[in-house]
Amino acid sequence: MKTTISLSAPADVLTESLVAVVLDHAEPVQNGQPQKDKKPLLKVATADAAVQSVTADLLASGELTGKPFETNLLHKPAGLKAKRLLLISGGPARKFSAYELRRIAGTAVRTLKSRGIRSFGFVAPPLKLELDPPSPVGLVSEIATRAIVEGAHVGNFDPDYYRSDRKDQKIDELTVVTGGDQVALEKAAAEAQIIGESQNFTRDLVNEPSNRMTPTILADRARKMCADVGLKCEVYGADKIKELKMGAFWSVAQGSDEPPALIVMTYEPAGAPAKPVLGLVGKGITFDTGGISIKPADGMEKMKYDMAGGATMIGAMRAIALLKPNVKVIGIVCATENMPSGHAQKPGDVQIAMSGKSIEIINTDAEGRLVLADGLYYARQLGCTHLVDAATLTGAVVVALGYSNAGVFANDDAMYERFHAANVKEGEKMWRMPLDDEYKEQIRSSIADIMNTGGRWGGAITAAMFLKEFAEETPWIHLDIAGTAWMEEQKPWIAKGPSGIALRSLVEFVKSFAQ
């Protein structure tokens, strides 16, 4: 999607459709009393007189509810050079921020492209920014531009690759209509485009069925991406995994006929300091049957998405290489299938991880933590001083947080606060979960050092406690994205299917070390 910046008045922008946000300015409380039957007070979020004039009657009619994502398309709007004017409700003005704006931009794309429209202009609205000191107008415009461009890219993705009657519906060109410094705005838009394209690159990897996204193919896609953006990429097979004594990783891989892949991507800009070195480690289970502890048939087809954590790290490395922060980053993806076969590990087996820790296998479907255990330890061996892993790790995190928030675990408060600031800025919902020492009792083994599952209760936490054994004292964050890496239903701003969650936060987190 080509993105341009226009400093023209919205009425003067010649485009297939102009998009403007409508906000509800009604106050829920007046004179200290809640307003139960309050009517919406709708205003278009632009000072442009022509846009205000052409929308005045509709907004005053009482026909609109003002609920978020409500759309109205006006043809041949008087006083505007645009052929159409799409109004999208952003909800209450008092709450409207970059988070809502991203979703409105995605809604605009999905609404317009379904009508065969290929280009549009988006009028950047004012934002509510809780910053101290207050942000200058120029910075607010840049933040709005980033949100619009990122949200538009998310909305432009559709997963129906293999339908023979697939319609080629996509937006080819976006114009952000705003005010401010042209150079700064273009820089913001270019960076946002890199993020948006990288998020969709991640979604593309996750969307592929497992027969078209084996560990070997995933490694090939990572290798090609690295060559395109100037990253160093090394891919190792079974022999190297055994040579490194990655017994936890190999214990999962041994059950499949598909060879595993240890993918190592390195970004090291000239002049980067020796420390920190950031390690991004992703779970790359390209299909998860559960192994001998086989999953139920219902819904198993979705298990192609079990490599979403690895795909996120590959996409993040792409964005990092293009944005060029001055910090060294190593991305590691442990890719394999988890299959039942005569070669597969069995419940009760004991495996020796790369770190030397012994692991009693209680459930072969708790395989993601096994590959990550060796991935985290290997990242430390490569010199990483700070670690982040991402994985579709547990169903338990979905029970705890549903489909709205990813689970965040951290062994270091300062690192968590840095990451939290990044995901708030990038509009990704995540919630910190506990890592109290008491939970470690649930994974103690009577035959080995630890077990690979701690039972039903607190399952997301005991999985994180397992990983903590391999991060040890290295500052570390674990992202359990099992409930958020896949959109279970179509939303106005995003298609059903892979979401690309965590990529934006990870990239912002990495950038924070270089500032």
Query: Which residues belong to the active site?
Result: 295, 369
Rounded-to-integer distance, Cα 32 and Cα 38, Å: 14
Q: How far is CA 454 from the centre of its chain?
A: 28
Per the structure block, which two tokens stand in for 324?
């060029």
Strands 486-487 and 406-410: unpaired
Q: End-to-end alpha-carbon separation of the chain, Å?
A: 29
SS3 129: coil
* 45 Cβ neighbours under 8 A, 6+ residues apart: 20, 21, 22, 23, 90, 93, 96, 123, 125, 126
Rounded-to-integer distance, Cα 379 and Cα 393, Å: 19
Tell the residue number behind the tokens 């395109």, with chain if given.
Answer: 228
Q: How far is CA 471 from the centre of its chain?
A: 23
Rounded-to-integer distance, Cα 507 and Cα 511, Å: 6
The four Cα atoms 185, 92, 31, 52 give a dihedral, to 10 degrees, of 70
Rounded-to-integer distance, Cα 39 and Cα 290, Å: 53
Task: State the CB neighbour count (10 A cutoff) for residue 316.
Answer: 31
Task: Confirm if 20 and 45 have CB atoms less than 8 A apart.
Answer: yes
